[in-house]
């Protein structure tokens, strides 16, 4: 490691600017009893993947909406306003809300970034390339003494040890969306506000996304077979994978979900039906007499 530090062109950055393959060997060990125990959780800057959120909200037995409000804040991943989500630290401090004196309070469900540390995953995709490449870099921070522990391990084995593989597999669809958006650049244009909102809800607020998928608005447009409907109604992982599929279709035109040819007609018919209902009600109620309300009069006493 010292060789990387000495030759780093970015002396202030903790990320070593040397890309490493999975076969590379690192020297590192983290364990209870190490002098810096918990130091990395006291000053956090942790981005979350959709699968991180899914695991944590399940562990805490709360909705994705409640999880987002209590434990996260959104940030912009690019200039077009594509949102990411980071851990919100403790009130008035910089420590993780899940840190305890014994270590991580959600260890079995800790996020991807915590599992990887001190390795950083770098996903790259060149313009017009259809597959992304993955490489790794080391993060070397002064407070972390794990780099001086006498244990060597390959990055691939470290990923296995930390249970990262499942996390990476299940967040792959989300990473592809972000990479594709970045590598496509201005060619796909700026996504509409509605697409950006859909991206946020579909990726991070799964419970709200489920409500949307079962709503008449969604089913007026998309055709899902019964088996898939059942799956996404009962299984968060299936719902999340479906969210990535839908976003590929909405953002990049990669069609994999059938749409109703008469979707527009159906929506217009519903609108007409709603308007007819309103006319019917209005005819029954008759003309409404408006009264002047004085905003300073809290009892709304009429003239
Ligand atoms: S989730 Fe756990 S490991 Fe990650 S920063 Fe919080 S306390 Fe530390
Ligand atoms: S060795 Fe590094 S990762 Fe482990 S507790 Fe210390 S600072 Fe955190």
Query: How many helices (H) and strands (E) are present in the chain, helices listed first?
Result: 12, 9
What pLDDT shows up at residue 183?
77
Copy the structure tokens of residue 214: 């079962």
Residue 103 CA to ligand 1 center (angstroms) comes to 8
User: What is the tens place of the pLDDT at every residue in 169-195?
Assistant: 999 999 999 988 887 765 567 788 889
Strand stretches in the chain, DSSP E: 25-27, 47-48, 72-76, 83-87, 99-100, 103-104, 119-124, 133-138, 152-154
Separation of alpha carbons 240 and 84, rounded Å? 16
Residues with CB under 6 A from ligand 1: 41, 44, 46, 96, 98-99, 104, 106, 110-111, 114
How confident is residue 300, by pLDDT bands cut at 50, 70 and 90?
very low
What spacing in Å lies between the alpha carbon of 167 and ligand 2's midpoint?
21
Extract the tokens encoding 101: 């004196």
**How far are the Cα atoms of 12, 127, 210, 211, 226 from residue 266, in angstroms, in the given order?**
58, 39, 22, 20, 20
Cα–ligand 2 centroid distance for 144 (angstroms): 5
pTM: 0.82
Residue 61 region, left (φ>0) first, then alpha (ψ -120 to 50), else beta?
Answer: left
Q: What is the 3-state secondary structure (H, E, C) of 149-216?
A: CCCEEEHHHHHHHCCHHHHHHHHHHHHHHHHHHHHHHHHHCCCCHHHHHHHHHHHHCHHHHHHHHCCH
Prior bond of 199 cis (ω within 30°): no
Residue 42 has pLDDT above 90, yes or no: yes
Q: What is the pLDDT of residue 88?
A: 97
Q: What angle do CA 101, 107, 113 make, to 5 degrees?
A: 110
Mean pLDDT for the stretch of residues 5-10: 41
Question: Residues 294-303: what's their mean pLDDT?
Answer: 45
Q: Which atom of ligand 2 is nearest to the CA of 29?
A: 1
Higher pLDDT among residues 299 and 277, named by residue:
277
Which pLDDT score, from 0 to 100, does residue 126 have?
58
Pairing label, strands 133-138, 47-48: unpaired
Tell me the pLDDT tens digit for each residue of 58-112: 999 999 999 999 999 999 998 888 899 999 999 999 999 999 999 999 999 999 9
pLDDT exceeds 50 at position 9: no
State how far the Cα of 297 lies from the Cα of 258, in Å rounded to an integer: 56
User: Per-residue pLDDT tens for 108-148?
Assistant: 999 999 999 999 998 776 555 556 678 899 999 999 999 99
3-state DSSP assignment of residue 283: helix
Q: Is 42 in the pocket of ligand 2 (CB under 6 A)?
A: no
The residue with greater pLDDT, 2 or 262, is: 262
For ligand 2, the distance from its centroid to the CA atom of residue 113, given in whole angstroms, is 13
* Cα–Cα distance measured from residue 178 to residue 131, given in angstroms and rounded to the nearest whole number: 13
Q: Is the CB of 50 under 6 A from ligand 2?
A: no
289 pLDDT tier (thresholds 50, 70, 90)? low
**If you take atom 1 of ligand 1, which residue's CA is the nearest one?**
110
- In angstroms, rounded to a whole number, what is the distance separating the alpha carbons of residues 126 and 120? 19
The top-scoring range by mean pLDDT among 179-183, 195-199, 204-208, 250-254 is: 204-208
Q: Is the Cβ–Cβ distance between 174 and 84 less than 8 Å?
A: no
With a 6 Å cutoff on the Cβ, whether 34 touches ligand 2 is: yes
How far does residue 58's CA lie from ligand 2's centre (Å)? 26
């Amino acid at each position: 490691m010292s060789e990387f530090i000495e030759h780093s062109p970015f002396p202030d950055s903790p990320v070593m600017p040397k890309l490493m393959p999975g076969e590379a060997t690192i020297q590192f060990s983290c364990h209870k009893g190490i002098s810096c125990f918990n130091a990395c959780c006291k000053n956090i800057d942790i981005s979350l993947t959709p699968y991180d959120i899914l695991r944590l909200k399940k562990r805490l037995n709360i909705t994705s909406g409640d999880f987002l409000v209590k434990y996260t804040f959104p940030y912009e991943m690019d200039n077009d306003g594509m949102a990411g989500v980071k851990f919100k630290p403790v009130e008035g401090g910089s420590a993780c809300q899940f840190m305890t004196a014994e270590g991580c309070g959600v260890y079995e469900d800790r996020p991807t970034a915590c599992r990887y540390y001190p390795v950083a995953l770098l996903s790259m995709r060149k313009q017009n390339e259809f597959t992304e490449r993955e490489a790794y870099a080391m993060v070397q921070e002064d407070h972390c003494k794990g780099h001086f522990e006498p244990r060597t391990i390959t990055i691939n084995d470290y990923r296995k040890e930390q249970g990262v593989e499942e996390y990476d597999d299940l967040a792959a669809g989300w990473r592809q969306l972000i990479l594709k958006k970045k590598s496509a650049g201005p060619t796909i244009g700026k996504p509409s506000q509605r697409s950006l909102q859909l991206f946020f809800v579909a990726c991070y607020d799964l419970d709200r996304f489920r409500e949307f998928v079962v709503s008449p608005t969604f089913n007026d447009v998309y055709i899902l077979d019964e088996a898939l409907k059942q799956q996404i109604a009962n299984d968060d992982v299936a719902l999340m994978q479906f969210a990535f599929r839908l976003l590929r279709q909405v953002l990049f035109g990669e069609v994999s979900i059938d749409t109703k040819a008469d979707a527009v007609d159906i929506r217009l018919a519903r609108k007409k039906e709603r308007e007819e209902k309103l006319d019917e009600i209005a005819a029954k109620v008759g003309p409404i007499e408006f009264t002047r309300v004085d905003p300073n009069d809290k009892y709304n006493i009429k003239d």
